[in-house]
Amino acid sequence: MYIAKKLKQMLEDCELIPIASLINQDSISATSEKVGFVFPVYSWSLPKIVYDFIEKIDLSNTKYIFAVTTMGGFSKQYVAPVLIKLLKPKSKELDVAYNIRIFSNNIWGSKRINPVPSKEKADKRIKNGVLKLEKIAEIIRNNQKDKIKENSKYPMKNSYFSFINEVNTMDEKYYSDENCNGCGMCIKMCPVGNIRLVDEKPEWQHKCQMCTMCLHYCPQKAIQWGEYTLDRGRYNHPYIKLKELMEQSLVK
């Protein structure tokens, strides 16, 4: 979200619209000639909600399409081929796509591979990411294009599509521990309205995107995902306010 906000500022004459705010509409049409998709990489490619959104959106009026993603430590991603695949039935091309390496906040994965970043490391990566974004914004402003490989072999392809097929029910491992006080913050944070309170405890409704926002922003640090998150730190973005995150949610 932070990178999307900064890119909006750099491009100036543009509108930033959360995908979650549109995804349940029967039809979605882009009215701008220039459209960009800005999102974090999940399992080496698009979050399922982004995949579904691009499949759904009408881009008939669009002449220039870009993508900017944030990622953790894995350098080669499966983003561009998936975007190309989704755009082809619409007779559209991906003009440019860029990855910005920040860090991974995926603490339901390996503790060794995905440690919660220190404040110093996070700040440094964010600062470097913004510097790279300035160059990307200039390219987008000038409608520049770049040759994007479509047919490369990506070893993470099967893993990604397994993730897409399973992600909605991955919330079966979520639970709240004895520290939960039933405050309901997790409901307000979830961008897809996947959580409800039952007997003052959260229950997940199996339309999860695995954004882990409920886990990271629980005031009591009471939400866990199996045994993976026990004794693990939590991460709150230093430049994003809670109010901004809650404004993206389908629950108002």
**pLDDT tens readout for residues 113-138:** 667 777 888 888 899 999 999 999 99
| 48, 209 Cβ separation under 8 angstroms | yes
Mark whether 184 and 125 lie in a shared domain: no
Spatial distance between the Cα atoms of 166 and 26, rounded to a whole number of angstroms: 24
In a domain, 207, yes or no: yes
In a domain, 252, yes or no: no
What CATH number did the domain enclosing 208 receive? 3.30.70.20
Mark whether 135 and 238 lie in a shared domain: no
Q: What tokens appear for 247 in the block?
A: 């404004």
Mark whether 176 and 213 lie in a shared domain: yes
Mark whether 123 and 171 lie in a shared domain: no
| 140, 96 Cβ separation under 8 angstroms | yes
Least Cα distance to 116 among 17, 82, 125 occurs for 125
Mark whether 231 and 117 lie in a shared domain: no
Mark whether 226 and 200 lie in a shared domain: yes
Mark whether 156 and 173 lie in a shared domain: no
User: Which residue spans within 150-207 are E strands per DSSP?
Assistant: 174-176, 195-198, 201-204
Spatial distance between the Cα atoms of 171 and 186, rounded to a whole number of angstroms: 13
Q: How many independent structural domains does the chain possess?
A: 2
Q: What tokens appear for 60 in the block?
A: 């008939």
Q: Residue 182: what are its φ and ψ, rounded to 5°?
A: 70, 30
- What is the extent of the structural domain holding 52? 2-160
In a domain, 82, yes or no: yes
Q: Of the candidates 160, 179, 201, which is a domain's last residue?
A: 160
Mark whether 76 and 95 lie in a shared domain: yes
| Greatest C-alpha distance within the chain | 55
Mark whether 143 and 172 lie in a shared domain: no
Q: How far is CA 250 from CA 4, 24, 170, 173, in A?
A: 19, 9, 20, 22
Mark whether 82 and 186 lie in a shared domain: no
In a domain, 39, yes or no: yes
| 33, 143 Cβ separation under 8 angstroms | no
Q: Of the candidates 160, 194, 221, which is a domain's last residue?
A: 160
Mark whether 136 and 209 lie in a shared domain: no
In a domain, 58, yes or no: yes
What CATH number did the domain enclosing 21 receive? 3.40.50
Spatial distance between the Cα atoms of 225 and 229, rounded to a whole number of angstroms: 6
Q: What single string gives the DSSP state of each residue in 49-80?
A: HHHHHHHH-B-TT--EEEEEEEE-S--S-SHH
Q: Residue 45: what are its φ and ψ, rounded to 5°?
A: -155, -145
Mark whether 171 and 156 lie in a shared domain: no
Question: What's the pTM value of the predicted model, to 2 decimals?
Answer: 0.91
Q: What tokens appear for 24 in the block?
A: 């349940």
Q: What is the pLDDT along the chain (252 residues), one digit of tens a residue?
A: 899 999 999 998 899 999 988 888 889 999 999 999 999 999 889 999 999 999 999 999 999 999 999 988 665 678 999 999 999 999 999 999 999 988 777 776 666 566 777 788 888 889 999 999 999 999 999 999 987 766 555 667 788 889 999 999 999 999 999 999 999 999 999 999 999 999 999 999 999 999 999 999 999 999 999 988 888 888 888 888 888 888 877 665
